[in-house]
Amino acid sequence: MLDLSLSDGLPPFRFSGHETFACRYAWLPKAYRAIKANSGIFFDEDAAMVELGIGKNMVRSLRFWVDVMGIAKPTADRTHVLTSTAQAIFEDGGHDPYLEDVRTLWLLHWNMSSGAAPALFAWHYLIGSWPYPEFTRSEALAAFLRQSERLGYSHSSVTLGQHLDIFLHTYMPARSARVGIEDSLDGPLVELRLLQQTGEKRSEGGRWEAVYAFRREAKPDITNELFAYALLDYWDRTAVGEKTLLVRQVTSAPGAPGQVFKLPEEDIRARLEWLSQQKEFGIGYRPSAIQGLLTRDNLLSVSADLIYKNRITSHG
């Protein structure tokens, strides 16, 4: 029986809000401009429908993606505040206002998979905790049902199935080759090729279904600067004020760079070696075959501008 490990102190999870719509290419730039012009736009659905040219359910879905991808944060007075990361990307003269840079896509994936609060259930388990090299939809759904019940939730198989399907649609292509990006129902994160179909197999009910696996390999388009940003962001959120961090945590903990980016350990260690040589970060790296250690001389906060410091280059 497929299962997922649980531990004490798990964060609360989010299972819905996407209204069964995956995020689409044009949505985030439009949402940024709309919030900049009217910070309360997503709390007035009729106005948002007119401004964005989409239906009510899509407005609700877009608000969900704005929240979980780190574009803006809701406030108590029913407005949104744009994040500094979103401003660095989408502002006039920003680094990537039309989502043309793959580093931006990896950053959005990072925000959603590691930084979303509450954590997205499908992302937390499939990216952070799934203990097998591959999965099918029926296997994942069965595990979702068991684990959500153990956590005290009473979601139906329909709700969990929709949540799982949105996860799959976020990373797997559905468009025809004849359809352009703007008209596609695919989202931007499909371009990462993080999740791939590796084959088919019969389910317990006898039906053939797709087998999926994450692309766990070195990824040169995740630059050293992007990795550094993710590492320091993770460190600041999960080990506040701590001056040391185990390499094992970086490579394999749910929400850590190694798991979120699906990087092999050898690649991570090469990146940590590079990072330790960049004096501005104040990071020390003590390699060990058993238990490596990172040390931190300062609590430097980094902005998303770091990610775009250089052209995309291979590390190593």
Q: Are residues 203 and 254 in the same domain?
A: no
pTM: 0.91
What CA–CA distance (Å, rounded) separates 44 from 61?
14
Contact 57, 50 (CB under 8 A): no
Please tell me whether residue 195 adopts helix, strand or coil conformation. strand
Residues of the domain holding 170: 13-214
> Is 237 part of a structural domain of the chain?
yes
Q: Are residues 75 and 198 in the same domain?
A: yes
Q: Which two tokens stand for residue 195?
A: 């999740």
194-232 pLDDT, tens digit per residue, is: 999 999 999 888 899 999 999 999 999 999 999 999 999
The structural domain count of the chain equals 2
> Is 39 part of a structural domain of the chain?
yes
| Residues of the chain where predicted confidence (pLDDT) is lower than 70 | 1-11, 175-184, 311-316
What residues have CB less than 8 Å from 221, skipping those under 6 apart?
102, 103, 106, 312
Q: Which two tokens stand for residue 106?
A: 């990896």
- What is residue 3's predicted lDDT score, i.e. its pLDDT? 35
Contact 41, 51 (CB under 8 A): yes
List the CATH number of the domain containing 280. 1.10.10
Contact 189, 170 (CB under 8 A): yes
Choose the final residue of a domain: 185, 214, 243.
214
Q: Are residues 63 and 192 in the same domain?
A: yes
DSSP string, 49-118: HHHHT--HHHHHHHHHHHHHTTSEEE-TTS-EEE-HHHHHHHSTT-S-TTS-SHHHHHHHHHIIIII-SS
What CA–CA distance (Å, rounded) separates 149 from 146?
5
- What is residue 205's predicted lDDT score, i.e. its pLDDT? 81
Q: Are residues 172 and 83 in the same domain?
A: yes
Q: Are residues 39 and 69 in the same domain?
A: yes
- What is residue 6's predicted lDDT score, i.e. its pLDDT? 41
Please tell me whether residue 125 adopts helix, strand or coil conformation. helix
17-40 pLDDT, tens digit per residue, is: 999 999 999 999 999 999 999 999
> Is 8 part of a structural domain of the chain?
no
Contact 166, 22 (CB under 8 A): yes
DSSP string, 251-289: HHSTTSHHHHHT--HHHHHHHHHHHHT-GGG-EEEE--T
